Amino acid sequence: MTNKLALVALVSMTGLAACETVEGVGRDIEKGGQAITDTAEDVQS
């Protein structure tokens, strides 16, 4: 589980760093949040 969370954090940071527009930042944050939500739901199941 820790590895999944670290991977999600790394992907989110990479996406934010690569983003050049405010709209893109919003999409990156939304995707990162969705990934965290999905991981939390997997842990609860």
Q: Check the CA dihedral 22-27-32-33 and report its sign.
A: positive
Please tell me the predicted confidence (pLDDT) of residue 12. 80
Question: What's 11-30 look like in SS3?
Answer: HHHHHHHHCCCHHHHHHHHH
Enter the pTM of the model: 0.49
Say what the pLDDT of residue 34 is: 93
What is the pLDDT at residue 16?
66
Q: pLDDT digit of tens for each residue in the chain (45 aa)?
A: 678 888 888 888 776 666 566 677 788 889 999 999 999 998 887
What's the confidence (pLDDT) of residue 11? 82
Domain ranges for the chain: 2-44
- State residue 37's pLDDT score: 93
Look up tokens 């944050």; give the residue.
29
Alpha carbon dihedral 7, 27, 17, 32, in 10-degree steps, equals -20
Amino acid identity of residue 38, one-letter, is: D
